[in-house]
Amino acid sequence: MAAMILSAPLLSARGLTKHYDGIKAVETVDFDLTAGQVHALIGPNGAGKTTFVSLLSGRITPSAGTIQFDGADITRLPAHSRVARGIAYTFQITSIYANLPVFDNVALAIQRQGSTNLRAKTMAALARVGLDGRADQNAGTLAYGHQRLLEIAMGLSMAPKLLILDEPTQGLANAEIDAFNTLIREVTPQTTVLLIEHNMDVVMDLADQITVLSFGETLATGTPAEIRSNPAVQAAYLGG
């Protein structure tokens, strides 16, 4: 029966683990990402959120566990191979070319895909995050929040299947956060979004699913309503 066939998750992690000298940064995490959704990853400082997405992006290698993405085992693939398979990510620490114009930062990301029509695509990517008016400015002179938006433009210019964002709204003004929310709604469901975010208004507005990490382990996964009413989550993070 067709209705019984459930589509496989876009990404599945099983037993994913990263230890640093006895620190259990990420400890046997099972995690499924449904295609087309916005999935938020929340939890206290030091919970292992950045480490977890760094394992998914290939920036660091796991101590144990597996990662399946889009039907393939990517656990041992280098980061650039994962980018080629459609995983784009922005780090908590900005990774732009500060001494190059905003335009060049995005154009370089697009050029790496071997794309044609560079100028039009670059300007379109910048317009999506509201930075088209700053194309000629050196990226390092942008405000911190705008540097994060530039990174998102670089990520989106690759037309990824999965976009991973680590605290993208940090340093943004309220009006810019509204524009960010609109952007994320526009890019889904074509792009699946995994979002590390401390701003609970953003999380509750955008997320279809929320996973809460605490001391490297999954405390809970569920809809925003389920997470909000979860006593363990309130105790560990929401301060209920």
Ligand X SMILES: Nc1ncnc2c1ncn2[C@@H]1O[C@H](COP(=O)(O)OP(=O)(O)OP(=O)(O)O)[C@@H](O)[C@H]1O
The reply to whether 20 sits near ligand X by the rule CB under 6 A is: yes
In this structure, are residues 166 and 190 in contact, taking their beta carbons and an 8 Å threshold? no
Closest separation in Å from C-beta 194 to ligand X = 13
The reply to whether 25 sits near ligand X by the rule CB under 6 A is: yes
The reply to whether 57 sits near Mg ion by the rule CB under 5 A is: no
Using the contact rule CB under 5 A, the part of the chain among 14-22, 41-49, 60-68, 146-154 near Mg ion is 41-49
Query: Among Mg ion, ligand X, none, what does residue 46 contact (CB within 5–8 Å per kind)?
Result: ligand X
In degrees and rounded to multiples of 5, residue 173 shows phi and psi of -75, 165
The reply to whether 45 sits near ligand X by the rule CB under 6 A is: yes
Angle between helices 118-128 and 102-111 (to 10 degrees): 120
Query: Among ligand X, Mg ion, none, what does residue 214 contact (CB within 5–8 Å per kind)?
Result: none
The reply to whether 50 sits near Mg ion by the rule CB under 5 A is: yes
Q: Considering only residues 29, 33, 40, 50, which one is a binding residue for ligand X as defined by CB under 6 A?
A: 50
The reply to whether 23 sits near ligand X by the rule CB under 6 A is: yes
**Applying CB under 6 A, what is the total number of residues that bind ligand X?**
12
In this structure, are residues 223 and 209 in contact, taking their beta carbons and an 8 Å threshold? yes
- Assign 3-class secondary structure to 151-196: HHHHHHCCCCCEEEEECCCCCCCHHHHHHHHHHHHHHCCCCEEEEE
